[in-house]
Structure 1
Amino acid sequence: MNTIRENRVLLSFVIITTAICLRAPITSVGSILYCIVEDLKLSNTVAGTITTIPLIVIALLSPFISKISEKTGANQSLLLGMIIMLAGILLRSFGGIVGLILGTGLIGMGITFGNVLIPAIIKSFFPDKIGTMTGIFTTTMSVCSGLGAGISVPLAVNLGWGWRWTFCIWAVTAMVSIVVSLIQLKRMPSDCKKTEQVEGANKLQKPLYKIPLAWWVAVMFGGQSCVFYMMVTWLPTIVSDRGLSPMAAGIVATVFQLAAIPANLAIPMLAGYFKNQSRLAVSVAGMGIIGLVGILFAKSVILLGASTAILALGLGGTFSLSLVMFGMRTSDGIQAARLSGFAQSAGYVMAAIGPFLAGAVYDLSGNWAFPITLAVFIMVLDLIAAGIAGRDQQI
């Protein structure tokens, strides 16, 4: 019993240290991108790929992660992902232009391993605490995402670290995750390793794309991802085009990042109290719709900030609840990894398309009301999918 408890404690640290690495290495880029451009003499086209490459890699690689984990075990595969992440961070910092591109791709690969496998590990080792552990996971990601964006300029510019050594902070967290994972794997009971690799091996033979519930979960995850990245990309521009100052745009963008944190923690924990999460799922998706409608009509920075906060709560809650669904709509860790990979592949395709689509609609219409209205329709679809995915059923 003590060995099992110790293993769960170590796994908790693995989940937390991995979560630190899954967003911050990307969100830390934007605020000091100009430093990279000046140092490496990059074109705007190349610079733009630094944030696009990880999304493409995640979308393409996600379906294959579960296959790897079925052969090696989810914990071992997660360790591999963190090693790839560490290599990517170091290569991005010290490999020149080629290293910047390849390293960014490797970081995307490492993120994909974590994205897909953490919900499966939670399902396998914390079946009684899926909501709580998912809440801790998503909250850590959200906090560190904002931290990554916030500390980059002070470290790189004010303290003179430069962009290379600033990025290496996340190499340290990746190394910590690797060390903890190695300790955890060494102390994991041998029967747990065998169970993890064979559980569910004969289940779910039917392809996921033929299962309607898998598509509803994928649409639920993908809808919020699409709207989130649309807002991350264009929200400051939308605020500025309302005649407000750049400072006001920055404040609204900060609210968008920070307001999601309470939902990231609370919604998964609430989900754990119910067998049927439909009402909760519809409620949080509905908050996203209310927030977008508010942004559509708001003129003042106060109303824009309030609407943005509501939107962030809705998107943060829907994101966290989507991860909970990967565990609650499946019967074991293998199924959870497969569903996670399937849904996240579809979701990140939508995430990559969202900002481009919003920009194209604006170019055609010349008015941000049309892209925002498009986002409202996407969230309505997300609400419908969330209501169906939240029902007490399993694949």
Structure 2
Amino acid sequence: MNSHVTAGTPAIRPPEFRQPSLPGPVGARTVRAAVAFSLAALNLRIAVASLSPVLSEVEHDEHLSSFGAGALSTVPVVCFGAFAFLAPRLTRRFGPHHLLWYALLALTGGIVLRSAPGVAALFGGTLVAGAAIAVGNVLMPQIIKHDFAGRAGLMLGLYSLALSGGAALAAGVVVPLESATGWGWRQVLALWAVPSLAAALAWLPELLLPERRSPDRREPAAVRQDRTAAPAPAPGALWRDRTAWAVTLYMGLQSLGYYAVLSWLPTLLQDHGMSDGRAGWMLSFSSFPGMAASFAAPWVQQRLRPAFLAPLSAAALCATGFAGLLASPVSPVYLWMTALGLGQGLAIGLALGYIVARSPDAHHTGRLSTMAQGVGYLIACLGPLGLGLLHSASGGWTVPVVVLLGVLVAQTAAAYGASRDRHILAPS
């Protein structure tokens, strides 16, 4: 049965959303592709998360101002949004699988460049790495939709888990590795080029498959098949679609909260008397429940009814964490970090899942992924900057945290449209 919605046809719920689809047999090729995909996903947050623990050292050694250090930590998030809009044109030129390989190579080069002496290399390498990750962010949902259609839930779970796991790994081991080896921050940050290069090598066999070596690289057969299944939208149509905007706003608002917490949570806890080491550990600790929640998100999205309960639960968990940080930030801090980690992990898993579920095919998934992550991450970069400005203006953390609670209200409103079981560009 053709599950795609065409113009003039009533919107029909695709069969795979009524109940879990039954996957076909798992072969060596599928397992190899899944492992290579997961390795690639693991590297899409490492370059960002590895910088935060040594940012004060970088600031001191490179004689950066507070504004310069804040700009350095914000550059990757801005890149995630700005460079996402280049992904569709590059995909048409190279194909999604070749482009992901090029992005992993560029990420490796950016990490190495970032570790070279000089402020120009520091910012230039960060820019290259952020641009490469931006392209990878857009491609991953599209590849899931096309290559793993029968196992989309599992692969979305692995994708979300790899993103969270990569961030937790980098944030957790950079400082201990620095202490154990006696190396400086440049050498330790340069080490993260090894897993990105390993991911590129693991992805290389995917480019050697017969269907990937089509003479017409600009228009791979897989993309042509997707475009025959559902008509291409008119230019600008996606930007007028309410479902697309709901998915985009949900992606952006939940990312705003995540990057705000990532940037400022340790400082908030330190200002309330917690030691630097313990404050950094609490940020790392929150990633563990977050990893579990992000992995479970596709199943929660598929089975919890009505569908709006899943994002509502994510918002309620985040609100519990924020409220706890307002009332008593230090005493039962593990409770607040567990709630916050679960809520934010579930939210990112749902956001990525909506990109896949609201698209009729891989081509439309790529279009929606570009819009949701391009606009979404530009929204998200307001989190670290805005929270810092609010903290400076108010002289405390009450106003910034209350604003984050307000963002949760807007996030939940966007989730109402994003969680509706309909495709983008479907007739009303």
With structure 1 as the length reference, what TM-score do the two structures score?
0.91
Aligned-partner SS, 2:188: helix
CA 393–276 in structure 1, closer or farther in 2 if over 3 Å, else same = farther
Q: Which amino acid aligns with 2:368?
A: L
1:321, 1:12 → 2: CA distance?
Answer: 20
1:246, 1:87 → 2: CA distance?
Answer: 32
Which of 238, 245, 249 pairs up with 1:219? 249
- The Cα offsets for residues 266-320 of structure 1, whole Å up to 9 and x where unpaired, read as 1123334479732222222222223222222225421x33122212211110111
Which of 334, 338, 355 pairs up with 1:326? 355
Partner of 1:316: 345
2:100 pairs with 1:65: no
1:158, 1:348 → 2: CA distance?
Answer: 35
1:337, 1:131 → 2: CA distance?
Answer: 17
2:224, 2:118 → 1: CA distance?
Answer: 40
2:364 pairs with 1:335: yes
2:299, 2:407 → 1: CA distance?
Answer: 26
CA RMSD of aligned residues (A): 2.5
Aligned-partner SS, 1:128: helix
Assess if the C-alpha contact under 8 Å between 1:62 and 1:341 holds in 2.
Answer: yes
Which of 133, 141, 145 pairs up with 1:123? 145
Partner of 1:374: 403
1:22, 1:87 → 2: CA distance?
Answer: 14
1:299, 1:96 → 2: CA distance?
Answer: 39
1:259, 1:113 → 2: CA distance?
Answer: 27
Q: For structure 1, which segment, 168-177 or 238-247, has the greater mean C-alpha deviation from structure 2 after superposition?
A: 238-247
Assess if the C-alpha contact under 8 Å between 2:269 and 2:330 holds in 1.
Answer: no
1:48, 1:340 → 2: CA distance?
Answer: 27
1:330 shift after superposition: 0.1
Q: Which amino acid aligns with 2:227?
A: G
Q: For structure 1, which segment, 170-179 or 28-37, has the greater mean C-alpha deviation from structure 2 after superposition?
A: 28-37
Which of 181, 194, 210 pairs up with 1:159? 181
- The Cα offsets for residues 48-104 of structure 1, whole Å up to 9 and x where unpaired, read as 332211111111111221232133221111112112111111211235332211111
- The Cα offsets for residues 159-183 of structure 1, whole Å up to 9 and x where unpaired, read as 1233233223221112122222221
2:200 pairs with 1:200: no
1:6, 1:348 → 2: CA distance?
Answer: 36
Assess if the C-alpha contact under 8 Å between 1:240 and 1:246 holds in 2.
Answer: yes
CA 358–218 in structure 1, closer or farther in 2 if over 3 Å, else same = same
Q: For structure 1, which segment, 285-294 or 142-151, has the greater mean C-alpha deviation from structure 2 after superposition?
A: 285-294
Which of 101, 104, 109 pairs up with 1:82? 104
Q: How many residues align?
A: 393
Counterparts of residues 375-390 of structure 1 (less than 5 Å) = 375-390=404-419
Counterparts of residues 232-247 of structure 1 (less than 5 Å) = 232-247=262-277
Q: Which amino acid aligns with 1:131?
A: G
CA 19–59 in structure 1, closer or farther in 2 if over 3 Å, else same = same
With structure 2 as the length reference, what TM-score do the two structures score?
0.85
2:273, 2:212 → 1: CA distance?
Answer: 63
Counterparts of residues 109-188 of structure 1 (less than 5 Å) = 109-188=131-210
1:62, 1:380 → 2: CA distance?
Answer: 27
1:44, 1:242 → 2: CA distance?
Answer: 21
Q: Which has the higher helix share?
A: 1
Q: Which amino acid aligns with 1:287?
A: L
CA 174–278 in structure 1, closer or farther in 2 if over 3 Å, else same = same
CA 95–366 in structure 1, closer or farther in 2 if over 3 Å, else same = closer
- The unaligned stretches of length 5 or more in structure 1 are none
1:247 shift after superposition: 4.8
Assess if the C-alpha contact under 8 Å between 1:294 and 1:307 holds in 2.
Answer: yes
CA 371–32 in structure 1, closer or farther in 2 if over 3 Å, else same = closer
Q: Which amino acid aligns with 1:231?
A: V
Which of 362, 381, 385 pairs up with 1:356? 385
2:328 pairs with 1:306: no
Q: For structure 1, which segment, 41-50 or 329-338, has the greater mean C-alpha deviation from structure 2 after superposition?
A: 41-50
Assess if the C-alpha contact under 8 Å between 2:206 and 2:212 holds in 1.
Answer: no
Identity %: 28
